Amino acid sequence: MAMRWSCWRRGCPWRPAAVGSSRPGRPGCAGPLGTRATSDTRAQIPYFSLMKILTSASPNMHSISQVHHRTPAMCCCSQTQSGEKYSDPFKLGWRDLKGLYEDIRKELHISTRELKDMSEYYFDGKGKAFRPIIVVLMARACNIHHNNSRDMQASQRSVALVAEMIHTATLVHDDVIDDASSRRGKHTVNKIWGEQKAVLAGDLILSAASIALARIGNTAVVSMLAQVIEDLVRGEFLQLGSKENENERFAHYLEKTFKKTASLIANSCKAVSVLGCPDPVVHEIAYQYGKNVGIAFQLIDDVLDFTSCSDQMGKPTSADLKLGIATGPVLFACQQFPEMNAMIMRRFSLPGDVDRARQYVLQSDGVQQTTYLAQQYCHEAVREIRKLRPSTERDALIQLSESVLTRDK
């Protein structure tokens, strides 16, 4: 596990403006997104339009602009505050997740051999388990914040399990929609068993997750995770459409990013906070942390689609372009190369479009701008989680948000 985590955390060579590097205005620390005093304005979305985009993309998104004004000296790479030294948030979180995949397999209650093989296929310990790790760390951080409790409730661990099951069901369905051949370095369920059975396997995992969720017995938690399922579907649906107007396009992209990826993390974090602590302020902190880390995670995922190799990712790269999807790096590149507009609108469907768009992206600042944006979301996540009482788990969450920016798979 430790090796997998350290591999995940290795830095990416292309990251000129990532953690610890400087942006105009503040040595050793990323400056605010769109800082007006910046001299390095290459391909930056103008400050006001970007702020408008960010604030309209999702409810609560306004917080990203506030961070620039309220916490001028904050940086993702700053010291943690509890004073405790620990090496690896993954190891810390994993202490509560021993037997996670065995427990998930028990939840699946499968009767036929084939359905069992298909449904259990991705619960093999090859995923990063990013969501359950965040969830258990958040649970402990909130419990400590509330009453200095060192215990984690069984119901909170169940949320981690449900989150991983929902995530896995979406991967299975996503691969059907995208007609994907490989994931995590192996063939997809749809390629081995066919699309029809893959859809049913995803459904089965989702239904087992719903049963486990209902067993938690907290209606607020049930409605949070039900909202996630709606968001996932709506996010995937948004991805099927395009917007002509550039500002609308970016807002559309961020809304999709929240729904497809961040909602699950945000609502799972909130769910464990509700189970551990009665204070709505803490619930909001947990939600905001999860939302901001989740958006950053997806932005970096979109970057890795351009910068990583297939071996590293365990799936083909440039996949988004091939599917006709314009992600952050493309949208930023289009600011510099407006000729990309037509390609975006036709969803890279003409011969040569994918290669040309990829070249434009790599010649532009699109990758750096998207990374920089992810960094801002991480700053905001750190700002939120710092409101909790210091604890090893809180500091591990800070470290985890930094790792999102430096992951290479």
Binding-site ranges for ligand GRG (CB under 6 A): 127-128, 130, 169-171, 173-174, 177, 184, 202, 206, 229, 232-233, 236, 260-261, 298, 301
Which one, 80 or 298, has the nearer CB to ligand GRG?
298
| Torsion angle, alpha carbons of 129, 135, 140, 144, to 10 | 150
- Minimal distance, residue 116 CB to ligand GRG, in Å: 19
Helix (H, G, I), strand (E, B) or coil at 182: strand
Which one, 143 or 190, has the nearer CB to ligand GRG?
190
Which one, 31 or 235, has the nearer CB to ligand GRG?
235
SS (H, E, C) 313-339: HCCCCCHHHHCCCCCHHHHHHHHHCCC
| Torsion angle, alpha carbons of 370, 372, 377, 383, to 10 | 180
Which one, 131 or 157, has the nearer CB to ligand GRG?
131
CA 196 to chain centre: 28
- Minimal distance, residue 298 CB to ligand GRG, in Å: 5
For residue 187, what are the β-bridge partners?
A: 182
- Minimal distance, residue 27 CB to ligand GRG, in Å: 33
The CB-nearest residue to ligand GRG is 127
How far is 61 from 65, CA to CA, in rounded Å?
8
Which one, 26 or 234, has the nearer CB to ligand GRG?
234
- Minimal distance, residue 186 CB to ligand GRG, in Å: 11
- Minimal distance, residue 229 CB to ligand GRG, in Å: 5
How far is 201 from 190, CA to CA, in rounded Å?
10
Residue indicated by tokens 């497809």? 260
Which one, 206 or 303, has the nearer CB to ligand GRG?
206
- Minimal distance, residue 358 CB to ligand GRG, in Å: 20
Amino acid at 224: M
